[in-house]
Amino acid sequence: MHSTQLIYILDPMCSWCWGFNPVLQQVLEQAQAAKVPVTLRVGGLRTGQQAVLDASKRHYILQHWRTVAATTGQPFNFDTALPSGFLYDTEPACRALVVARQLDHQRLFAFLELLQQSFYQAGRDITQPYVLRELAVAVGYDSQAFCTLFDAAQTCEDTQAEFAWVSHLAVRGFPTLLAQHQQQYALITNGYQPYAALQPLLDRWISTNATI
């Protein structure tokens, strides 16, 4: 782990994280210009019994999505969203990001964006391993390497350990952006913020901590 870096904490099936994606792209550009590495950690939004949707929960989530769309301007496909019988389990998509980060960090954020677009715009079921594999291949990951690592017991354990790490940080919502220098963490944002609100915080942190 780098001694100085930005850490983006998210769940790929969190609607506010999809709303935050254009902001993230600007953060990535700013960090790249300052030669500050950016990585991500997954938080596990819905797993187990939380993943089961009834009609009232589905209605609540879609209302939430509409709020995100209105606030951020990000596109959503509401017509085919959350079909009957859909299990809103975010663990597989989170695990796919853990795999992607391990195989090739350079493709990681492109894979994240494609996961989010596929779920929120195209209505694809990214809880399904075959869909995750197709999307991984689409951004350049090797199919066999991805599948082998995705199915490995160690990867499942690593994903659960990451959920626990995020929980231990007392992160209560996604998206969260942390700045790390040595063993110190600075909170840039917990929750959606426009880039204009984050840029001066990042400028100040980078000028203090980053080696250019």
The mean per-residue pLDDT over the stretch 64-85 comes to 95
Determine the residue type at 111.
F
Identify the pLDDT of residue 131.
98
- What ranges do the domains of the chain cover? 4-209
Q: Which two tokens stand for residue 23?
A: 């902001």
pLDDT tens column, 167-189: 988 777 899 999 998 888 899 99
Separation CA 101–CA 146 (nearest Å): 11
pLDDT-based confidence at 211, cuts 50/70/90? low
Phi (first) and psi of residue 4, to 5 degrees: -130, 120
Q: Does pLDDT of 212 surpass 70?
A: no
pLDDT tens column, 28-74: 999 999 999 999 999 988 877 778 888 899 999 999 999 999 999 99
The mean per-residue pLDDT over the stretch 97-101 comes to 98
Q: Which two tokens stand for residue 85?
A: 């019988």
Say if strands 176-181 and 4-10 run parallel, antiparallel, or are unpaired. Answer: antiparallel
Q: Does pLDDT of 1 surpass 60?
A: no
Identify the pLDDT of residue 169.
86
Q: Please return the burial class of 15, using the count of CB atoms within 10 Å of its CB with bins 0-12, 13-18 and 19+.
A: buried
Q: Does pLDDT of 163 surpass 90?
A: yes
Identify the pLDDT of residue 210.
63
* CATH number, span 4-209: 3.40.30.10
Determine contact, residues 10/43, Cβ cutoff 8 Å.
yes
The mean per-residue pLDDT over the stretch 139-148 comes to 98
Average per-residue pLDDT in the chain? Answer: 93
